[in-house]
Amino acid sequence: MQTTSVEGGDSEARGCCRRVFPWQAFQSAPLQVVPLDGNAYVVTSPSLFWPPNAMGTAQSVAAQLASMDPGWSTTIYNGPQGYGTYLTYQPWAYAGRF
């Protein structure tokens, strides 16, 4: 799986996660931003991965992040951590704030 740097989105996603989670959550496994489709990206780390049946927990985290920066959601995906629930980020939603 290829990670990418999203113009503005990568740093916004990382900054937002670091405001919500303690820095220790990403010390051993930094955040990855992986293209999903179109303008959406999966934001992943072992600390930001839930089993498929824990979608409600992931949605709560996405809502908390979206309250600071729009564009956060969740998806079931077979990604870097395996099959499960991931956070997604759409940087265009953030840009639309201004």
pLDDT in tens, 7-44: 444 566 666 666 666 566 666 777 888 888 888 889 88
Provide the residue range defining the domain that includes 52: 9-95
Share of the chain above pLDDT 70, in %: 65
Tell me, what's the pLDDT at 33?
A: 85
Q: Are 70 and 94 in contact (CB under 8 A)?
A: yes
**Is residue 20 situated within a structural domain?**
yes
**Is residue 46 situated within a structural domain?**
yes
Domains in the chain, number: 1
Burial class (CB in 10 A: 0-12, 13-18, 19+), 87: buried
Give the global pTM: 0.74
**Is residue 4 situated within a structural domain?**
no
**Is residue 77 situated within a structural domain?**
yes
CA–CA gap between residue 94 and residue 98 (Å, rounded): 8
Neighbours of 97 (CB within 10 A): 8
Q: Are 51 and 25 in contact (CB under 8 A)?
A: no
**Is residue 37 situated within a structural domain?**
yes
CA–CA gap between residue 41 and residue 88 (Å, rounded): 5
**Is residue 2 situated within a structural domain?**
no
